[in-house]
Structure 1
Amino acid sequence: MKIAAVGIKTKKLKWIGAMTAVVAFFVLFGAGAVWAAGAHWQATDSYRVLNFVVLSLIIYFLLRKPAGQFFRNRIKGIAQELEDLESRKTAVEKQLADYNHRLAQLEKEAERIVAEYVQQGEDAKSRILKAAEAAADKLKEQARKNIEYEFNQARSELQEQVVEKALARAEQIIKQKMTGTDQDRLVDEYLEKVVA
């Protein structure tokens, strides 16, 4: 900021020097005109040049302070504006850094959330697979029990059928081979068992 103020002061000095040079030019121009005219110079021309020089000097001395004050105030205003702009630039840079930091934090948070959802998905997948395996094992066990039950039922029915057929066949064989004396002997044995 000091460098900018020095630059402004240098410009001010250059402006004052330029104004002095302009006044000096007009004075010298008037003197040169008088010298160049030599004998053809009339008194009215001298008065005109003198009026011009005096008027230029009066304007210079009258406007020097207000113009200098105006330019000093302008310089101060510009310097103040530069300071304000510098402070605003610093504040904006801090705000930008804060936003960049927040953006980086948001990116990290987004990555963390995505990783968390991926992990939750993997956990859900493993839970679903375990539940499916358990359900499959249960279904296998239930099917095995059903098959075993059906097999036992079929065996029982088959045994009943075999026994019935065997009894029917035995009855037929007994009927064919049994005689009247065998019947009497069986009746006697049965009565002895009942009485005893």
Structure 2
Amino acid sequence: MLQLNWGTMIFQAVAFIALMLLVSKFALRPMLGVLKKRQDYIDEQISSAEKNREQAEKLVAEQREALEAARGEAKEILERTKSQKEREAEEIIKGAQERAERMIKEATSEIAMEKEKALAELRDEVGRLTVLLASKVMEKELDEKEQAKLVDRYLDRVGELQ
């Protein structure tokens, strides 16, 4: 049967406990320390990644707000530009209409002046022809037929001048 040797068992137990203490002190504790440091590093990286994600989400939200603001400003600028363009077009049209009216008035007054000038020249010519006719009538006594012919010629000349 099996015999138990108490001396060997105690020695083996003491050796086992000593070995466990040595392994615990020199291998297990440093290994647990390294594992603890590794776990702390991983936890720190996870929290850092979460903080970075939150910051990225904030930046994305800020960028979206900035983009919306920029779109609003661009729309406002386009509307202002459009209204300014319309105002300038109206001013150009108004200026062109004023110039056209002024040119029409100037042309009308120039036509009136030319008409008055032509009438004055016609009056001068009629006066000259009247004097000429009177001088011819005085030079010779005309009978009624020749006087009618002379008046007709005079009227023809006046008609040609108009």
Give the TM-score normalised by structure 2: 0.70
Give structure 1 stretches of 5+ with no counterpart.
1-49, 179-196
How many percent identity over aligned positions?
A: 20
Number of aligned residue pairs: 127
Q: If you compute each CA radius of gyration, which structure gives the higher value, 1 or 2?
A: 1
1:94-173 matches, within 5 Å, as 94-173=58-137
Q: What RMSD, in angstroms, separates the aligned Cα atoms of the two structures?
A: 2.4
1:67 is matched by which residue type in structure 2? M
Q: Corresponding residue for 2:31?
A: 67
Residue 3 of structure 2 corresponds to none
Deviations 1:123-166 (A, max 9, x none): 11110000000000000110111111011101110111011101
Q: CA deviation at 1:112?
A: 1.0
Tell me, in whole angstroms, the C-alpha distance in 1 between the residues paired with 2:74 and 2:128. 79
- 1:168 positional shift: 1.1
Distance in 2, Cα, partners of 1:129 & 1:175: 67
TM-score, structure 1 normalization? 0.58
The residue number in structure 1 matching 2:49 is 85
Identify the residue that residue 23 of structure 1 maps to in structure 2. Answer: none
Q: Give the Cα–Cα distance (whole angstroms) in 2 for the partners of residues 107 and 60 of structure 1.
A: 69
Instruction: Specify the code of the residue in structure 2 equivalent to 1:135.
Output: R
**2:140 alignment partner, SS class:** helix
